[in-house]
Amino acid sequence: MNRTKTSDHAMQQAKAQLAAIVQLAEAIETAQADGDALFEGQSHSLDELEDRAREWPLSVLVRSEWVSPGSELTPAEYEILLCTGGPAVRLRGDLSSYGEPETAFLEYQDWFTAWDCLALSSDESEALARFTSLFWFGE
């Protein structure tokens, strides 16, 4: 795949968003054990860190599976939009029957380009899972 400067710029934004999510997820994990944690040079309680995570996205959306007209719509997928424009970054994944995230993918795009998925390490995937678990996707 031949990458352009535009898609490289979008990938760098995705990596920056991912790094911040990993740091926040680590701080939340520390606060769960110790009561508070350092994040961005300041001490925060667990509640403050979780609030910060929930206030981060520009939008949180769900969509359902295909169903017959008149059937109940149940959320099956989610999208958490972190930034938009050129570039844009979002988290997407599947939801369980209880409305909980089962998967988490970090995607990015720039103007006039398709969404592309950022490759993640297992630690990064776990951080995204912790981050997305803070959101409620049910009714």
Structural domain count of the chain? 1
Instruction: For residue 40, tell me if it sits in a domain.
Output: yes
Instruction: For residue 71, tell me if it sits in a domain.
Output: yes
For 60, residues 6+ apart whose C-beta sits below 8 A from its C-beta are: 78, 79, 80, 81, 135, 137
The 10s digit of each residue's pLDDT in 15-46 is 999 999 999 999 999 998 888 898 988 899 99
Instruction: For residue 138, tell me if it sits in a domain.
Output: no
CA trace torsion 18, 96, 57, 80 (10° rounding): 70
> Can you give the pLDDT at residue 34?
84
Domain housing 106: 5-132
- pLDDT grade for 7, boundaries at 50, 70 and 90: low
The 10s digit of each residue's pLDDT in 68-104 is 898 888 888 999 999 998 899 999 999 998 889 999 9
Instruction: For residue 26, tell me if it sits in a domain.
Output: yes
| Rounded Cα–Cα distance for residues 63 and 6 (Å) | 29
| Rounded Cα–Cα distance for residues 68 and 139 (Å) | 20
Q: Which run of H or of E encompasses 127? A: helix 122-132
Instruction: For residue 139, tell me if it sits in a domain.
Output: no
Instruction: For residue 43, tell me if it sits in a domain.
Output: yes
- Model pTM? 0.85
